[in-house]
Structure 1
Amino acid sequence: MAGDVAIMHGTACESQARRIAESAGLPIIKADVTRFKNGEVSVKNVGESVRGKRIFLVQTGGRDVNNELIETLVLLDALKRAGVGKAVAVLPHFPYARQDHKDGEREPISAALVASLLKNAGADELVSVDLHSSALPGFFEGNFENVRALPLFRDFLKQSLGSSFKDVVIVSPDFGGLKRVEALANQESLAYGAFNKHRPRPSEAHVTMYLGPDVRGKTVVLLDDMIDSGSSMLPPSSALKEKGAKKVIACATHAIFSGNAVEKLEAARDLDEVIVTDSVPVQEGGKIKVIELAHLLGRVVNAMSEGKSVSALTRL
């Protein structure tokens, strides 16, 4: 298998791609990715023949999302024109995932557009982690693996909290994330709840109601799929502390951390810890703890290459 399968990467997550390749026991095929003076992406010198091979292209949609997306498309086109057997785009954070429906008239569905662009550029299959919407795989004409990071958070919390994990309360910052919270809570027999969240404008959130068990003296885990500006985590953490919570831990797969989000999270007195994955490159330090995805994604790559189940890898 190894001779016909390899890893390739864009500039957004070279380190992660190398760790995935190491975990999967696969070689890396290099390409020179540079920019012209006007910002256009240039791809040259793909290191070896990819004809007939299955190539997993690792790239993400992070803090420079538009440039990273264009780079992904250009790399896929280079692979297609070089006769690749199958190109699999591994996008730990899927760009434009939040724009998966129309909120009003004459609006785009940008997530569907991105899926179409990836397909037309040469992606035969897609892999992502904790997609923002269950509708996203339906936008892509091909296999789209949505890998769950929930078992990684469970294992991290069990290790860090020890015997006190059994008394944790799992809370969603909004009703939209309740299924995620229920999955973990039901599997581990934990209490859970949710806030009703109102967004008067993008990157601003107000919590209006908490539905859930008493949190007095408890450690509470706020579980969400992403943290962007940080506004979705701060009001719930304050409300939980007002209700007597002993400790509040925020867990989110995608650490977008736009603007001064890190400073806001570090300064938040009611938020004790922030646990994220490296689906977007992020620096660990202070309150922020990072769970690496490389081992999990390496197993996903091997499972797909061998025709085995991917969903079985992330069952709780």
Structure 2
Amino acid sequence: MPKHEKIVETIPVGPLGIIALESSKSLGAKINEHLVSWRDLRESEHKETIAFKGYQRDSFLINACCPRFGTGEAKGMIKETVRGYDLYLLVDVTNYSLTYSVCGHTNHMSPDDHYQDLKRIIAAVGGKARRITVIMPYLYEGRQHRRNSRESLDCALALQELTNMGVESIITFDAHDPRVQNSIPLNTFETVQPTYQFIKAILKNVPDIKMDADHMMVISPDEGGMSRAVYFANVLGLDMGMFYKRRDYTKIINGRNPIVAHEFLGDDVEGKDILIVDDIVSSGESMLDVASELKRRKANRIFVVSTFGLFTGGLDKFDKAYEEGLIYRLMTTNLVYQSPELLTKPYYINVDMSKYIALIIDTLNHDNSISGLLNPVERINKVLEKYNQTKKK
């Protein structure tokens, strides 16, 4: 029985409503399609009762927007009732493709702009919803998660601000440091790993892949991503290695200490396919430096696997790396904005997360536990078996 068929054993918390802010319209539409399809097919003797009112609808998307004045000021507007609803707000704070006008000048929306729009929509709800859950795949200011000197703790402040506005739960993906949840200890904060979706996408798109310790290895590009790489290696039964960055702490370039060299710790990579696993591809320079070092050590095909593809420096360097045989495939999710140019690249594999998010929303709406969804080991083993991949260690 499919997982989404088991949920009808409990009554929904309230009528389901999804508010996909402008930054997440395309992802929200895909999530909505899954939910509408599942609930149309779902059978239950209780569906005609008042507790299931509005359970089956043509769309669960709520009409909301954030129009702006000529000065750039904005307001949140919700154009239909949300009283008593179990609301899920979806926002992509990294979507730079959206613009607005300030006194005749065009501005691209920054993470700060998207975050303010999220707060405006929460304010427009006005406390009338039964419950508000924010799904923020890329955690706003998640990279500013700790204090190294006299500096701001932006992520912690944002989480506290949202919960003070009435948000009950915050769901994010692959948080840079999950310990930011300590700033809101009495509220739900879930950081979801897309490990299963990555493994499934590789098996589907690379038919000749061999996911065993003799043919593949997992690499963490830095010490901060060790736990992510360890999990990948454990569920696949692979060896792992890591690079650590030697930095010049006497200089600051673009807000960071420049990397002097990448040092490698791990077994021999010669002749093996490599999964370089990280949470963010920003400019991509660090990731490509690691790929170059692995090729120098005679690694075979290199797969760059990252939850968020931001590509702040454009795609030219990845095009060049692909042409030179430095990387074989690049995989990121659709949790954040993907440029049309990226989707056309021959080396790019798009990992769709809409079904997974729809399943999380459906489960939470029925007030069921999502612990089984957060630990996908069983599903990973099934997909490995489906593609005849034996786990050897």
Structure number with bigger Rg = 2
Residue in structure 1 matched with residue 160 of structure 2 by the alignment: 116
Q: Deviations over 1:111-137 (max 9, x none)?
A: 101112222333221111111102122
In 1, distance between residues paired with 2:308 and 2:229?
Answer: 16
The answer to whether 1:126 aligns with 2:170 is yes
What root-mean-square deviation, in Å, do the aligned CA atoms of Structure 1 and Structure 2 show? Answer: 1.9
Structure 2 residue 197 is the aligned partner of structure 1 residue 186:
no
**Cα distance change on mapping 1:203 and 1:266 into 2, 3 Å:** farther
The one of 303, 309, 327 aligned to 1:271: 327
Q: Secondary structure in 2 aligned to 1:7?
A: strand
Report the CA distance between 1:3 and its aligned residue: 6.4
Deviation of 1:154 (Å): 1.5
Looking at structure 2, the residues matched to 302 and 203 of structure 1 have their Cα atoms a distance apart, in angstroms, of 44
Whether 1:78 and 2:124 are equivalent positions in the alignment is: yes
Q: Distance in 2 between matches of 1:14 and 1:203?
A: 37
CA drift of 1:54 comes to 0.8
Q: Alpha-carbon deviations, 1:38-91, whole Å to 9, x = none? A: 2222222x2321111111011122142111111111111111x15111111110
Matched residues in 1 for 2:182 and 2:65: separation? Answer: 33
> Any conservation in 1 of the 2:197–2:351 contact (CA below 8 Å)?
yes
Q: Pick which of 278-287 and 169-178 moved more.
A: 278-287
* Displacement after TM superposition at 1:310 (Å): 1.7
Q: In the TM superposition, what is the alpha-carbon distance from 1:206 to its structure 2 partner?
A: 4.5
The 2-side partners of 1:206 and 1:60 are apart by: 33
Partner of 1:261: 314
The answer to whether the Cα contact below 8 Å between 2:13 and 2:365 also exists between their aligned partners in 1 is no
- CA displacement 1:6-58 (0-9 Å, x = unmatched): 111111010101111222236111113222222222222x2321111111011
Pair 1:5-2:59 in alignment = no
Residues 1:99 and 2:144 are matched in the alignment: yes
Is the Cα contact below 8 Å between 1:93 and 1:254 reproduced in 2?
yes
- TM-score, length of structure 2 as denominator length: 0.75
Decide whether the 8 Å contact of 1:204 with 1:231 is kept in 2.
no
Structure 2 counterparts to residues 24-63 of structure 1, below 5 A? 24-25=35-36, 27-44=60-77, 46-62=78-94, 63=96
Unaligned runs of 5+ in 1: none
Tell me which moved more, 180-189 or 139-148. Answer: 139-148
Query: Does the 8 A contact of 1:41 with 1:70 survive in 2?
Result: no
Amino acid at match of 1:171: I
Deviation at 1:255, TM superposition (A): 1.2
Amino acid at match of 1:189: G
Q: 1:262 to 1:107 in 2, by over 3 A?
A: same
1:198 aligns with 2:198: no
Structure-2 separation of matches of 1:68 and 1:206: 35
Are residues 1:309 and 2:365 paired?
no
Match of 1:211 in 2: 265
Say which structure is richer in strand.
Answer: 1
Deviations 1:183-202 (A, max 9, x none): 11111111111001234443
Q: CA deviation at 1:2?
A: 9.1
The 1:204/1:153 distance shift into structure 2, 3 A limit, reads farther
In structure 2, distance between residues paired with 1:246 and 1:203: 31
- 8 Å Cα contact 1:273-1:288 kept in structure 2: yes
Equivalence for 1:173: 221
The answer for unaligned runs of 5 or more in structure 2 is 1-11, 37-58, 97-109, 378-393
Q: Distance in 2 between matches of 1:239 and 1:145?
A: 35
Q: TM-score, normalised by structure 1?
A: 0.93
Code of the aligned partner of 1:279: L
Specify whether residues 51 and 303 from structure 1 end up closer, same or farther in structure 2 by C-alpha distance, changes over 3 A only: same
Change (3 A) 1:61 1:143: same
| Aligned pairs, number | 312
CA distance in 2, matches of 1:310, 1:92: 16
Contact kept in structure 2, 1:157 and 1:165, CA below 8 Å: no
Q: Higher mean Cα deviation, 180-189 or 132-141?
A: 132-141
Partner residue in 2 for 1:137? 181
Q: Write the letter of the residue equivalent to 1:175.
A: E
Deviates more, 1:277-286 or 1:6-15: 277-286
Cα contact 1:229–1:261 (8 A) shared by 2 = yes
Percent of matched pairs sharing the same residue: 23
1:205 shift after superposition:
3.9
In structure 2, what is the Cα distance between the partners aligned to 1:203 and 1:7?
Answer: 41
Q: CA deviation at 1:242?
A: 0.5
Matched to 1:273, the amino acid is R
Once residues 39 and 211 of structure 1 are traced to their aligned partners in structure 2, the CA distance between those partners, rounded to angstroms, is 50
Matches of 1:73 and 1:85, distance apart in 2: 17
